[in-house]
Amino acid sequence: MDINADGNTDLLVAGYGGFADIYYGKADGTFAEAKPLLNEDGVKVNLGSYWCYDQNIWTTFAREKIKKGGISHAEIALQEKIEQQSTHFTLLTVVDWDNDGDYDLILNSQPKVAKKDSDQKPKVCLNIGDKKNPKFSRKVFEIKEISRVHYAEAIGDWDGDGLFDIISGSKGYHVQFYKNIGKLGKPKFAEPVILFKNEDFINGAHGGEVWIMQPSICDYNNDGKLDLLIGTNTNNNIPAKLTKEQKAERTELEKVLKETIDGITKYNNAYYKKHGQPKTNEAYKKMTETLNKNADFKALVEKQKEVYTKLWPLKDKMEGGGYVWVSLRK
């Protein structure tokens, strides 16, 4: 889409990290360096938690606030507890929701639960600037009519009546069509119609149901009728087939692995206390070099490798990955 109406197509990328970046298109067809998508307060547009690479945890803006002295460590700890239950990352799509000529955002994030009703609904973030100078509102509002857990909306005029509709993907649920029965600039949605159930997609390798379904609308075969492309993923746990002895061995190895990791963590924490947490590759390298001078630490690392090599064949396997499906409109 061309989000700043300068005639060059731009690329909006949101994802697992939690924030959205925008790559403004240039006249020669290349893209400028990514810039974070900001709201009217200059804060990065975000719906769920974001992944803090320094701390390796999901978090929100609490950490940024503490840096400015606005929030206590106790409050942070509480916040992080809450976030274990909260939504993660931000998904994003654009549409001119209010029909004022500029693009608005529809935000979503990872649902807390699947296959159940939830208060989690996609949110609309209006563009309060104009089409040449997009400026996104601090406040977001829910799409009321959408009541089921889902995410990854595809927006398009699916039934060709001039109003955009929503096709929703989901996690462990359905692909659904929400017909826009409102007016231009005042969207309102009918009860959803199920287009696909998750069992309609059969996982090639193990015959299981797919998990995430992410639809996209396009005319795949160029016959003038809109089709659906659906990306899916699977996370099937494939239990290891073990004898009684192997099960006992696995339990023992897991115990030793935990002890080893705890030992390594102690050394790491002691290092952080003295030198701070490394933030760069160089600093990590230095930390590894320093710690490896300690024979006990080195022995723990070697032990961890040894235990893990033995443990790996005894562990359950995850079948991940996914497919892209096409459904042509009749």
Chain residues in the site for Ca ion (CB under 5 A): 2, 4, 6, 8, 10, 25, 96, 98, 100, 102, 104, 127, 157, 159, 161, 163, 165, 219, 221, 223, 225, 227
3-class state of residue 94 by DSSP: strand
Nearest residue to 21 (alpha-carbon basis) of 30, 6, 29, 31: 31
149 vs 175 by CB, closer to Ca ion: 175
Q: Could you tell me the smallest distance in angstroms from the CB atom of residue 43 to Ca ion?
A: 20
* Helix-helix angle 281-292:244-275, to 10 degrees: 110
Indicate the length of the chain as a whole number: 330
Nearer to Ca ion, 88 or 179 (CB): 179
Which of 166/291 has CB closer to Ca ion?
Answer: 166
* Cβ neighbours for 57, distance < 8 A, ≥ 6 positions apart: 51, 80, 83
Q: Between 9 and 288, name the residue whose CB sits nearer to Ca ion.
A: 9
String of DSSP letters for 157-224: -TT-SSS-EEEEEEESSEEEEE-B-SBTTB--BPPPEEEEEGGGSB-TTT-PBP-EEEEEEE-TT-SS
Token pair listed for 307: 């235990």
Measured from the CB of residue 26, what is the shortest distance to Ca ion in angstroms? 9
Min. distance of Cβ 158 from Ca ion in angstroms? 6
Q: For Ca ion, which is the closer residue by CB, 101 or 276?
A: 101
Which two tokens mark 191? 């009860």
- 312 secondary structure, DSSP code: G
Q: Where are the beta strands (DSSP E) in the chain?
A: 11-14, 20-23, 35-36, 50-52, 57-59, 91-95, 104-108, 123-125, 141-142, 151-156, 165-171, 174-178, 193-197, 212-218, 227-233, 236-238, 317-319, 322-327
How far apart are CB 162 and Ca ion at their closest, in Å? 7
- Decide whether 212 or 226 has the Cβ nearer to Ca ion: 226
The angle, 0 to 180 degrees and rounded to 10, between the axes of the packed helices 244-275 and 295-311 is 150
The least distance separating Ca ion from the CB of residue 296, rounded to whole angstroms, comes to 58
Shortest distance in whole angstroms from residue 247 CB to Ca ion: 53
3-class DSSP assignment, residue 41: coil
Q: Give the shortest CB-51-to-Ca ion separation in angstroms.
A: 28
Which is nearer to Ca ion, 157 or 316 (by Cβ)?
Answer: 157
C-alpha to C-alpha distance for 137 and 286, rounded to whole angstroms: 44
Structure tokens at 324: 């892209």
For tokens 């547009």, the residue is 45
CA–centroid distance for 96 within its chain: 23
Of 219 and 302, nearer to Ca ion (C-beta) is: 219
Q: How far is the CB of 6 from Ca ion (least distance, A)?
A: 4
